[in-house]
Structure 1
Amino acid sequence: MKKSRLLTSAAAALALVTVSACVTDPNTGEQKISRTAIGGVGGAGLGYLLGSVIGGKTARILGAGIGGVAGGAIGYQKDKQIRELKEQTAGSGVDVSDTGDGILLNLPDVTFAVDSTAISPSFQTTLSRVAQSMNQYPNSLIDVYGHTDSTGSDSYNMDLSKRRADAVARYLIAQGVNSARIQAQGMGETYPIADNTTEQGRAANRRVEIKITPVSTDDVNSAR
């Protein structure tokens, strides 16, 4: 009963995020995530994507030797990378969106077989293109989040989600992405984006998200 109430509350919060956390870009007409709206939900739903990067920026910026992007150009570069990523991943099922402070890639369930951490061979080409984009735009930090559906115990799902996030991170590193830029974290079943009572919903919840956060020259100067 307690878990049922928790899932109901989470679903309600997620619905609130879905309805209220999107704004329309007046220039493109596209729906984008609103930092203000998500922050107001108190961290539910997609709120964790709008916080600071995993482990904090300072050590990661210094460790990766990132030079940063000038403040006036950072928005232009982000928009350009988003357009290119959408073209490079077209037809793969990857969703590319603007979080306001970065870029979010939602990798579909086909990335992994059921109960597996091995990246599907059919998806490796797409993930290689994503890595190429990261290498082309080196002035950013990369957070990889693993998610599961609600099948299985909480502890098992947390472990599985972490191992899947690690698998994606290792693949990106193998494609030449600087390992100091990347951190991975398992989220378990905590942040569903669909109904776990249906197979279609569970498939949507079994996902890996990659957050790309551009680093400005101001961030670099602060880190030093």
Structure 2
Amino acid sequence: MTKLFLSALTAALILSGCAETGLSKTQTGAIIGGLAGAAAGGATGNHSAKRVLIGGAVGALAGGGIGYYMDKQEEELNKELKGSGVEVQRQGDTINLNMPGGITFDTGKANIKPNFNPVLDDIAGVMTKYPETKIEVHGHTDNVGSDASNLSLSQLRAQSVSSALTTRGVGSDRIKAIGFGENAPVATNDTPAGREANRRVEIKIIPNPAQ
């Protein structure tokens, strides 16, 4: 059994080079899931090789399934949001949608611009097709104005987007709206371009561990 766990540990270290080997996110997820399942199988008290192998197989299926589920969402979001100004980013199994403030809200306002509504239609359409995820809507501002006013504005903007998604059929129990004010910049606030980048709303689509 010691050899089995040492082998699993060695394989885990090898995974750090997965990005260079050409493995897809789904394949990597399956390998990670398999290692986790093997460890869990060996920790149940029945230290048999059979139990470890079963645990690894179940874990691989779960890991690959999550990766595939998120891969399909990312693929559809990229297709639907092409040319919209919304940037689709992938971090592990989390999908991030970066929506610049200039295309979503007027300066100092929390009402969504009418011409952005079709984009929200597309985002909500994909989200309703993939219900086994959690959604966090993050509001951000630059540092112009007081801390209190920026925090309030970021919260209102996050809530506006959250409400828009709910109105379009996305379950409210899946969505959490959070305002960060000026506290999570992605660029310097010393230049107009940097401040513009910081004025944004982000949607994070996260696998639901309960599923």
Q: Which amino acid aligns with 1:77?
A: Y
Query: For the residues of structure 2 that align with 1:203 and 1:24, how far apart are their CA atoms?
Result: 35
How many residue pairs get aligned? The number is: 158
Which residues of structure 1 form unaligned runs of 5+?
1-22, 30-68
Secondary structure of the 2:111 match is: coil
In structure 1, what is the equivalent of residue 112 of structure 2? 119
Which residues of structure 2 form unaligned runs of 5+?
1-16, 25-60
Residue deviations 1:189-213 (CA, integer Å, cap 9, x gap): 0111112122221111110001111
Find the structure with the greater CA-based Rg: 2
Offset at residue 80 of structure 1 (A): 1.5
Evaluate the alpha carbon distance shift between residue 25 and residue 89 of structure 1 in structure 2; reply closer, same or farther with a 3 A threshold.
Answer: farther
Secondary structure of the 2:66 match is: helix
Which of these residues, 161, 169, 173, is aligned with residue 176 of structure 1? 169
In structure 1, what is the equivalent of residue 194 of structure 2? 201
Deviating beyond 6 angstroms after TM superposition, the runs of 4 or more aligned structure 1 residues are: none
**Aligned: 1:97 with 2:89:** yes
What TM-score results when the alignment is normalised by the length of structure 2?
A: 0.70
Residue deviations 1:87-133 (CA, integer Å, cap 9, x gap): 11111111111121311111112111100001111111111100011
In structure 2, what is the equivalent of residue 166 of structure 1? 159
Say what the alpha-carbon RMSD is for the aligned residues: 2.2
Query: For the residues of structure 2 that align with 1:25 and 1:197, how far apart are their CA atoms?
Result: 35
Counting helix residues as a fraction of each chain, which structure ranks higher?
A: 2
**Aligned: 1:140 with 2:133:** yes
The farther-off stretch of 95-104 and 202-211 is 95-104
Q: Which amino acid aligns with 2:198?
A: N
**Aligned: 1:156 with 2:149:** yes
Query: For the residues of structure 1 that align with 2:150 and 2:18, how far apart are their CA atoms?
Result: 35
Offset at residue 70 of structure 1 (A): 4.4
Query: For the residues of structure 2 that align with 1:104 and 1:28, how far apart are their CA atoms?
Result: 21
The farther-off stretch of 119-128 and 142-151 is 119-128
Give matches, 1:9-158, under 5 Å: 25-26=19-20, 27=22, 70-109=62-101, 110-158=103-151
Answer 1 or 2: higher relative contact order, Cα 8 Å, separation at least 6. Answer: 1
What TM-score results when the alignment is normalised by the length of structure 1?
A: 0.66
